[in-house]
Amino acid sequence: MGYGMAVIALPFCAFFMDLKMLPPLFGTLGGIASLYISIKERRHINWRELRRVLLWCAIGFPVGVYGFHKLPVNRLNLFLAVFIVIVSVHGFWKTYTKRASRPWPWLFGRILLILGGVIHGAFTTGGPAVIAYSEPILKDKHEFRATMMLIWGILNPIFVTIYWLSPSRQIEVFWLTLACIPSIFIGIRTGQFLHHRVSERGFRLAVFTLLFLSGISRLMPNDHPAKPEEISHTAPVESLQTVD
């Protein structure tokens, strides 16, 4: 439908998979979908706005990539959860109240784009920040969709290339990506079908509600008992007893 693939899918998949596997997975899948849509809708691309967004996102993008490769998973998870809750609350409020969008002041608009670059470099989910900046400017929905798709079609391959050149790459991501590629084209066709038949406002409210619940759930402490292999082996020898 033109937005939100990674930011919707990532928090739910993070319950079942290693968080570090998801950005390269969604970066690849999102890159394929974005390039396909942007090429198909290329006549609607606003090239001037595209250059402006990419320029400012490029400032924050390397910071996000560095954080993805260097920060521990628990910090990334906390950052992701807080970000998702903020995005969901803002999106729900904006959709529910039907507030008209106005362009951001110059400074705040550039901060949004830099922040979007940071988040996209870390999770390939910087869309909400970039969309918050671009939505009041790109009024035509075809122009908005085509321009946003090309932005992700440029940033995602860069992220994925850096990932596969890094020593932290995981071959499992490659096989998982191959298995998921068919779902991209099914999703694109389904999204085009729904775009003309489903209330966009109702769809957005449902999405932001699910995002809020998933973000809150990721902020809750994990109370599961430790697995045997996770128990520390540093206990004093005196505490270890044997039974004849």
- Cβ atoms of 1 and 203 within 8 Å: the answer is yes
Rounded CA-CA distance 119/128 in Å is: 10
**Mean pLDDT value across residues 46-57:** 93
In a domain, residue 244? The reply is: no
User: In 3-state terms, what secondary structure has residue 86?
Assistant: helix
Has residue 156 been placed in a domain? yes
Rounded mean pLDDT, 153-170: 92
The answer to whether residue 49 scores a pLDDT higher than 60 is yes
- Joined together, the tokens standing for residue 196 give 């003309």
The pLDDT, as a whole number, for residue 195 is 63
Residues in Cβ contact with 38 at an 8 Å cutoff, skipping those fewer than 6 apart: 45, 146, 149, 150, 153
Residue 198: which residues within 8 A CB-CB, separation 6 or more? none
Quote the number of domains for the chain. 1
pLDDT confidence bin for 210, thresholds 50/70/90:
confident
Confidence tier at 215 by pLDDT (50, 70, 90): confident
Q: What is the mean pLDDT of the chain?
A: 79
Q: Is residue 227 part of a domain?
A: no
Domain extent for 53: 5-14+22-218
Examine the pLDDT at 121 and tell me if it is beyond 50. Answer: yes
Highest mean predicted confidence (pLDDT) among 22-26, 208-212, 224-228: 22-26
Q: pTM of the entire structure?
A: 0.75
Question: For residue 135, is it within any domain?
Answer: yes
Q: Do 68 and 121 form a contact (C-beta atoms < 8 A)?
A: yes
In a domain, 233, yes or no: no
**pLDDT tens digits along 10-24:** 777 888 888 888 899
Give the pLDDT confidence of 188-209 residue by residue, as tens digits.
888 777 766 767 677 667 767 7
Classified as helix, coil or strand, 235 is: coil
What is the spatial distance between Cα 127 and Cα 116, in angstroms, rounded to a whole number?
7
pLDDT at 136: 79
The verdict on residue 241 lying in a domain is no
